[in-house]
Amino acid sequence: ADGHWLLRRPKHVASINATATFDEGRGSIFIGAKYNGPTKDVAFDAMFNSSRVKLDGYWVVDAAANYAINEHVEVFGRIENLFDEHYQEVFGFGSVGFGVFGGLRLRI
C-alpha cells in the first residue's frame, strides 16, 4: 500500500500452458512455462546483520503426458524443470533441479 517493493514478491509473473489430446482422448500431452520476475530478499551474515539482495528472474518449463492403454490401465509421466533452470525463490536456498516422474494407474 505504501508503494514499496515487497520481499519475495516479483513485480511480474506469467505462465502459459498448452494441452493436446490424441487417439480419441485416450492420451494427452501437456507443456507449461512459468516466469517469475526479479525479486528482492534479505540476506544475513554470520552476525545476523541484514542486507537487501536482488534475486534474478527465471523461467521454468514442465511437461507431462498420459495414455490410457485400456479402461483399467493408464501410464503417465511428467518432467519438472525441463531445462534444469537454477534459480532461487529465497536467498541462499537453491531450487529443485530437473526431475522425471512416472507411473502406472490401475482402475479396478
Q: Which pLDDT belongs to residue 1?
A: 61
Q: What is the reported pLDDT for 63? A: 98
End-to-end C-alpha distance for the chain, whole angstroms: 54
Structure confidence by residue, pLDDT tens digits, 16-43: 999 999 999 999 999 999 999 999 999 9
The pTM (predicted TM-score) of the whole model is 0.82
Q: In what order do the strands lie in the sheet with 73-80?
A: 13-22, 27-36, 58-68, 73-80, 99-106
Looking at residue 22, its pLDDT comes to 97
Condensed to tens digits (0 to 9), the pLDDT of residues 91-108 reads: 988 888 999 999 999 999
